[in-house]
Structure 1
Amino acid sequence: MDSKLFSFIAASFTSLLWTSLPSIVFTFLLLICTCLIIRKYQHLGCFMLGIVWMASVGHWQYTLQLSSEQISQPTQITGKVSSLVIAEQNIRFNLKVTQIEDQHLFFTKTFRLSWREPAWQVQQGQQVTLLVKVKPPHGLANEAGFNYQQWLFSEGINATGYVKSHVENTLLDDVKTVRQTLLNRMLAFPLPHRSWLAALTFGYRGLLQPQDWHLVQKTGVAHLIAISGLHLALVASISYVLIAWIVGGLISRFYSLHHLNLHNLAMFLTLFPTLAYSALAGFGLPTLRAWLMLLLFSVCFLCNKHLGAKSLILLGLTCFILLFPLSIFGLSFWLSFSAVIIICFVFWRWPVKQRDFSLVAILSAMVKLQLFLTLLMLPLVAWQFSYISIVSPFVNIIAVPAVTMVLVPICLLGVMCLAFKPDWAFSLFSLADQILSYGLRFLNFALQFDASFFNIPAFPATVWCFVFLFVSCCCLPSFGLNKKYLYLLLLPLASHLLPQRSNTWQIDVLDVGQGVAVIISKNKHAIIYDVGASYPSGFNMADSVLLPILQARGLSKVDLVFISHGDNDHGGSLPQLLKGIQVSQVLTNQDRCQQHFAINWQGLSIKALWPDNALKYSDNNGSCVIKVSDKFHSILLPGDIDKSIEKQLVELYPKQLKADILLAAHHGSNTSSSSEFIQTVGAEYVVFSQGFMNRWRFPRPEVLERFEQVNNNVDTQAKIFTTSDSGQVSFIMEYDLPKPIVVKTFRQDIYPYWYANVSRPK
């Protein structure tokens, strides 16, 4: 049985490597073949069934896409608010949509919406009718940083957009969920650490600030503020003891109940308070995973079926893939199950013997578990987050029992008192708040040490696989083999750690939505042209794109930052960039980034061709236009200049404008990219840096037509990229050598998987 489940799971996991979905016809034929052979070849049949299942799930998600008509204009929708909402302005929430215009949906769709100025206090559970402007799920696509589009897919979100102000926006039913009501009551208490209490008690982390996330991530305790298996196991244990005590008292008093099995009854009844706790956490996937494992264990216990840890994990994985197939595309799935498997491995390798069962043995087991959990999880955490926390195991030894044995029980008692004794609830939450203040001081103290954590460059997944093999084999018995040969598994890591000097230089046009950010790098040094936008919500392109990429490349300093002009979409994220990394010099069109500026950087020539004086022109036309080149390759970066400035540049620099790569002016606006300018530059590659389905419809069809007309008149056809479709576009060139330019795009070359790529409307 285990091997068949493993075949199904392995086949399902192969969907992570598909660059496209199998066609519907192929999937149907594969299903027929599976039905024909599964009796004779059961393992192969289970493997094929896994492929059929995940392909079917993918096609089902495609059928839930919105039509072109539904995204081309404002649409009226009706649905139920499914996420907790606290703020009164600039809110973001999920809506389970049951009706689009006059069409009632048989299967609901999930929209993630933002609303700048809500007409009422939006709360979880409300039924609403809203006028919205939506588009397919989409996110920035760069080599580092959070993959928002993949997260949307794993959460089953079918569209994103915003609510338009309209008189027909209506609150149909103001019924709030119990979870929202209790959270509101708790947040009404004047407690300094309400944001942390909301996360620990209700699983609502929307109030946590970036510095809070930095604190828990670098100390390795982020898992404690996500209601998951650890918290559910505590609730199950407490519930089992209380139920057994109460029911045991009843059974002992009434002779007619003596035939009941106390343990079976307590195990069965424990499922209900744990389910209620899952509801309190909003039925988040980590909580559901833990509850599902508890359900399987309980069923096996009640049916007298003994399943080992391996069988239970495989059965749990199979059930979860069947019930929540999209979750395997989210990182939390892999972190959760990796932790479970490692815990089972540690207890198998170093079992706690019953005769040694004492307080010392328990403490020893906890220390050992935390150390090996941190060690074995290190490759996965380092691969995904590019840092290693040294203090994590030591902090967790104290934090895990403090949170699970003290804080969570106090918070749960506080929740139960919220409904009927608010004064008691306030006292309990005040106690929890005080304990939290000491805990946060402890975390900040741990982070003050110089070697508490350190960032590392991003290495390929294969390197971390070898590191994981090394750590795992070191933990296993020797089996008569000499373990010193295991160090050979660290050779791939060593090869990446050794200093490397390359003769190439690289240009990366980053995907920053409707904006511009370009990194030019050579010999572990970098310069940046424009830094993208920053928004009132706090979201900015420095923290979300630039800094993660620089960290992933192991860069701790930027030599030069050029800001073409003052528009937010070009220079808005500069303060966050300067805060996050050392920058040697910033040049803008108001100071040195003007005509006749020229420097030699890492052997590359950097020349400013415009403006002669930025004050003489509008903000866009005063953009700093620079050209970066070696003897054989070059890129022209023109900012947001329009056709009038392009004409002057053609007259001033009829030969110097020639470049292999052109970043199209003003994101592809029809006011720029004149035919004469396009022809003079004669670029082999053209990149439009613009937002997905942006309101200005950049690049404009007229601009694309002009590029096509110029292409028809020359021998070499320019290849056109848009960052909304291709994501990050990278150009790799051999320095001062006439070799062809190597081009890579994130969506087509670096991360070409079907679940992370753009889905155009039907």
Structure 2
Amino acid sequence: MASVGHWQYSLQLSSEQTSQPVQIIGEVNSLVITEKNIRFNIKVTHIADQHLLFTKIFHLSWREPAWQVQQGQRVKLWVKVKPPHGLANEAGFNYQQWLFSEGINATGYVKSDDDNTLLANVNSIRQTLLNRMLGFDLPQRSWLAAVTFGYRGLLQQEDWHLVQKTGVAHLIAISGLHLALVASVSYVLIAWAGGGLISRFYSLHHINLHNVAMLLTLFTTLAYSALAGFGLPTLRAWLMLFLFSVLFLWNKHLGARRLILLGLTGFVFLFPLSIFGLSFWLSFSAVTIICFIFWRWPVKQANFSLTAIFSGMVKVQLCLTVLMLPLVAWQFSYVSTVSPLVNLIAVPVVTMVLVPICLVAVICLAFSPDWAFELFSYADLILSYGLTFLNFALKIKASFFNIPTFPAAVWFFVFLFVLGCCLPSFWLNKKYLFLLLVPLASHLLSPKINTWQLDVLDVGHGLAVLISKNNHAIIYDVGASYPSGFNMADSVLLPILQARGFSKVDVVFISHKDNDHAGSLPQLLKGIEVSQVITNQDKCQQDFAISWQGLSIEALWPDNALKHNDNNGSCVIKVSDQYHSILLPGDINKSIEKQLVGLYPKQLKSDILVAAHHGSNTSSSAEFIQTVGAKYVIFSQGFMNRWRFPRQEVVDRYQTYNPILFSTSHSGQVSFQIEYNSTTPVILKTFRQDIYPYWYANSTHH
């Protein structure tokens, strides 16, 4: 893995390639459906007319493509790219780590240019079949695309919420269950057809039909993996099938434990970056647990029995859910109570009915669209009933519940407790197992603590600040929301509030109505209870002051927001106890800073300052910096942003007064833990250096 790390660093782009537009040549590597605002991966073979010895993968967006982009096309494009980067907060999706696990070397966008050229208009078979299927007028075609082709780009956020909270998200990804079904059907059909052929010709009687069927099944399942776009879950399942087949044909017997370890080793060797993705660990954990279940409760009934099959399915599903619960709860901070029942019904329906219909329909797409439409219509009907069932399950009281984030060690002890309950007694006295739940119980209790915390969250170009004390929270600004639907409430604020165990927010301050400060407010209000929203248009003006959890919160500006433009009308607030204070100035410029220095020469003094206007040179005057006298200054800005915030001249002005400087694009979330009404020094942590300091998650910041 050290070698892989060095290899990945060697594939990073040079500063010249990321500082200005470059021309690339490559092949579109992703399925593309929409005609505008598209996102796709491209396997790059040339950069600026230089042929690459090793191809690179770029993840690009293109607002208005000059042609219908499709998987398989060879293109020449002008692009502006930057190293893989993502928001870095203690909760929420780690996009940068995901990019790394997918082997993506750069992200960016395609520039409009007359030289953008379609060099070869050749669609992949997978893209062609998907296009034909989407041409049918079917209500559930987004789900059909996911189940049949592994294309999940048409699914909406509420769709993901539905399958995740009911515990069936694994059925949407084409994985081991689907491949096992294809392998079984393929083996039976090949053996049946081959048996009929061999029985007619005496000269063929020496052929071992079993071996031939197993070998040919490897090729049919590989073709099915191609239909799924060679997704990593599918490749993991195919590799295990390949190992099993090879060992079987060589008459080599390996136990389940050794087979799993061999598969694990082979997959890490072939796809080393995949170990940094969560699906790798979920897949192998599930396989290991299933093997454990069959070891602990072996199938004793030799004859075929529907009762035995059903009881076995119930046993596997219940045990799998319970044993996977600590891992799922640790990673996703929720527990689904309806998951065992839902999976008991959904797994056999999807694998034994839905997937076979979809596969036959795909084959029919090649020669009889009418037959394909009929079959997809049946599949669409099954999905409609299935989604109705899932929505019903989700509406059941306590169908799932969110839980705060606990350390990995806590969930490890919970797993040991569950495992101990499942193991035979041996020498173990199970009545003492409850001691393993003591760490969990201690974390569930929320004692009053004498500290308060400030978190300047990484929301790209924008601002979102969380202030918390005694399980209560205040938010200052909420970050941006974009036309694509991506917003900072769903991706940053709500995950961190859930992880901290907050069920509501006491006050949300909105400094001004610019999108990068207020854009995500509707999504925040939809996702969590907010007691009060205060803006610069109403209460958040001079002379406003409240006491909250013993902290003093006062507004220093504006005098009247209507007299100023959006930025200069920003709500400036100061949060303080007797010894420590924070100043949040929004986007005010130097003229307002000058007025504040005149009005509050002593009151502006603060330990921590979030730099005004993200580090723009229109703000942060030397007089203001000196008057505030902050020990810590944070720039909340986007990575390689087009305004080049924080401006170098601003950084130079701050450095004259020797504060400690942070930028969220470099450090990620910046957190300060402050002892209430105490002279104890502030405890400082940043996400990239202290909370999650791993090279594979912060590769562009070392």
TM over 0.5: yes
Residue equivalent to 1:752:
693
The runs of 5 or more residues in structure 2 that have no matched partner are none
Residue equivalent to 1:44:
none
Matches within 5 A, 1:38-49: none
SS in 2 for 1:307: coil
Q: Match for 2:635 among 688, 691, 695?
A: 688
Q: Does 1:183 align with 2:124?
A: no
Query: In 2, distance between residues paired with 1:339 and 1:307?
Result: 19
C-alpha displacement at 1:556, in angstroms?
Answer: 0.9
Residue equivalent to 1:294:
241
Q: Does 1:266 align with 2:207?
A: no
The answer to whether the 8 Å contact 2:24/2:48 transfers is: yes
Residue equivalent to 1:244:
191
C-alpha displacement at 1:202, in angstroms?
Answer: 0.1
C-alpha displacement at 1:501, in angstroms?
Answer: 0.9
Residue equivalent to 1:36:
none
The answer to whether the 8 Å contact 2:666/2:701 transfers is: no
Question: Runs (4+) of structure 1 moved beyond 4 Å?
Answer: none
Q: Match for 1:571 among 518, 522, 525?
A: 518
Residue equivalent to 1:333:
280
Residue equivalent to 1:719:
660
SS in 1 for 2:302: helix
C-alpha displacement at 1:451, in angstroms?
Answer: 1.3
Query: In 2, distance between residues paired with 1:498 and 1:692?
Result: 38
C-alpha displacement at 1:357, in angstroms?
Answer: 4.1
The one-character-per-residue Cα deviations of 1:482-510 (angstroms, maximum 9, x if unpaired) are: 10111110000000111311110000000
SS in 2 for 1:189: coil
The answer to whether the 8 Å contact 1:80/1:126 transfers is: yes
Matches within 5 A, 1:649-668: 649-668=596-615
Query: In 2, distance between residues paired with 1:525 and 1:498?
Result: 15
Residue equivalent to 1:715:
none
The answer to whether the 8 Å contact 1:723/1:729 transfers is: yes
Query: In 2, distance between residues paired with 1:117 and 1:746?
Result: 36
The answer to whether the 8 Å contact 1:415/1:425 transfers is: yes
The answer to whether the 8 Å contact 1:543/1:576 transfers is: yes
Residue equivalent to 1:648:
595
Query: In 2, distance between residues paired with 1:221 and 1:500?
Result: 36
C-alpha displacement at 1:358, in angstroms?
Answer: 1.3
Matches within 5 A, 1:79-228: 79-228=26-175
The answer to whether the 8 Å contact 2:472/2:502 transfers is: yes
The one-character-per-residue Cα deviations of 1:737-762 (angstroms, maximum 9, x if unpaired) are: 1110000000000000000014159x
Residue equivalent to 1:425:
372
Residue equivalent to 2:684:
743
C-alpha displacement at 1:709, in angstroms?
Answer: 1.6
SS in 2 for 1:341: helix
Q: Match for 2:675 among 712, 734, 753?
A: 734
C-alpha displacement at 1:448, in angstroms?
Answer: 1.1
Query: In 1, distance between residues paired with 2:241 and 2:162?
Result: 31
Number of aligned residues: 702
Q: Does 1:678 align with 2:678?
A: no
Query: In 1, distance between residues paired with 2:557 and 2:400?
Result: 44
C-alpha displacement at 1:307, in angstroms?
Answer: 1.2
Residue equivalent to 2:478:
531
Q: Does 1:621 align with 2:568?
A: yes
Matches within 5 A, 1:362-401: 362-401=309-348
Query: In 2, distance between residues paired with 1:61 and 1:106?
Result: 14
The one-character-per-residue Cα deviations of 1:166-194 (angstroms, maximum 9, x if unpaired) are: 11111111100000000000000000000
- The amino acid of 1:733's aligned partner reads I
The answer to whether the 8 Å contact 2:301/2:308 transfers is: no
Query: In 2, distance between residues paired with 1:437 and 1:708?
Result: 61
The one-character-per-residue Cα deviations of 1:22-64 (angstroms, maximum 9, x if unpaired) are: xxxxxxxxxxxxxxxxxxxxxxxxxxxxxxxx10011000000
The one-character-per-residue Cα deviations of 1:467-489 (angstroms, maximum 9, x if unpaired) are: 00110111101103210111110
Query: In 2, distance between residues paired with 1:194 and 1:298?
Result: 35
C-alpha displacement at 1:708, in angstroms?
Answer: 1.3
Q: Match for 1:324 among 266, 271, 274?
A: 271
SS in 2 for 1:542: helix
The one-character-per-residue Cα deviations of 1:497-531 (angstroms, maximum 9, x if unpaired) are: 11311110000000000000000000000000000
Query: In 2, distance between residues paired with 1:746 and 1:82?
Result: 33
C-alpha displacement at 1:355, in angstroms?
Answer: 2.9
The runs of 5 or more residues in structure 1 that have no matched partner are 1-53, 712-717
C-alpha displacement at 1:372, in angstroms?
Answer: 0.4
Query: In 2, distance between residues paired with 1:310 and 1:721?
Result: 48
SS in 2 for 1:419: helix
Query: In 2, distance between residues paired with 1:357 and 1:517?
Result: 61
State which drifts further: 354-363 or 684-693: 354-363
Residue equivalent to 1:69:
16
C-alpha displacement at 1:710, in angstroms?
Answer: 2.4
Residue equivalent to 1:16:
none
Matches within 5 A, 1:8-87: 54-87=1-34
Residue equivalent to 1:14:
none
Residue equivalent to 1:305:
252
Residue equivalent to 1:457:
404
C-alpha displacement at 1:102, in angstroms?
Answer: 1.4
- The amino acid of 2:316's aligned partner reads L
Query: In 2, distance between residues paired with 1:291 and 1:106?
Result: 29
SS in 1 for 2:700: coil
- The amino acid of 1:729's aligned partner reads V
Matches within 5 A, 1:271-290: 271-290=218-237
Q: Does 1:477 align with 2:424?
A: yes
The answer to whether the 8 Å contact 1:136/1:760 transfers is: no
Residue equivalent to 1:48:
none
The answer to whether the 8 Å contact 1:675/1:710 transfers is: no
SS in 2 for 1:756: coil
C-alpha displacement at 1:306, in angstroms?
Answer: 1.0
Kindly report the root-mean-square deviation, in angstroms, between the aligned alpha carbons of the 2 structures.
0.8
State which drifts further: 527-536 or 473-482: 473-482
C-alpha displacement at 1:354, in angstroms?
Answer: 3.8
C-alpha displacement at 1:596, in angstroms?
Answer: 0.7
SS in 1 for 2:234: helix
- The amino acid of 2:524's aligned partner reads L
Query: In 1, distance between residues paired with 2:69 and 2:405?
Result: 41
Query: In 2, distance between residues paired with 1:413 and 1:129?
Result: 37
Residue equivalent to 2:582:
635
Query: In 1, distance between residues paired with 2:302 and 2:638?
Result: 65
SS in 1 for 2:61: strand
Q: Match for 1:351 among 298, 308, 314?
A: 298
SS in 1 for 2:152: coil
The answer to whether the 8 Å contact 1:563/1:570 transfers is: yes
TM-score (norm 1): 0.92
- The amino acid of 2:393's aligned partner reads A
Query: In 2, distance between residues paired with 1:477 and 1:423?
Result: 56
Matches within 5 A, 1:419-568: 419-568=366-515
Query: In 1, distance between residues paired with 2:109 and 2:618?
Result: 28
